[in-house]
Amino acid sequence: MVDLSHYLPILLFLGIALALSSAFVFLPMVVSRLTGSHKPNEQKLSEYECGFPAFEDPRSQFDVRFYLVAILFIVFDLEAAFIYPWAVSVFTLGWTAWFAMMVFIAELALGLVYAWKKGALDWE
């Protein structure tokens, strides 16, 4: 027979997390409905930060190169996050860890060369 009483704290934690996240999502919507702040009008939709209407559509598309540079930054930022703990413990892990990291760095270098050849790093 399996004793499921050990799972009670986990279920309690998940229940509290679900209740709090639901409250954070739905409570502001209910309060806005009750206070009438959901009804748009001319004054509510007016510009309040800069004082004049926008020159163009604020939902204009960004150049895809911006996203490529951002993704490359995240990849190499994560590389640094992986290399630091490896560098701290490489002497205790042995040659297997050293070769694994060299394969990882080689893959990242190939990715960088590929992005460079495709022109992802060229900004006009």
Q: What is the chain's length?
A: 124
| Domain positions in the chain | 4-118
pLDDT tens column, 26-80 = 999 898 888 876 777 777 777 766 666 667 776 777 777 777 788 888 888 888 8
Tokens for 52?
């004049």
Percent of the chain with pLDDT over 90: 25
Distances (CA, A) of 88 to 75, 84, 97, 104, 122: 21, 6, 12, 17, 35
Q: CA 67 to CA 74: how far, in whole Å?
A: 10
Distances (CA, A) of 119 to 28, 66, 112, 123: 45, 12, 11, 8
Q: Which fold has domain 4-118?
A: Methane Monooxygenase Hydroxylase; Chain G, domain 1 (1.20.58)
Would you state the pLDDT for residue 18? 97
Identity of the residue numbered 16: I
Answer yes or no: is pLDDT of 6 > 80: yes
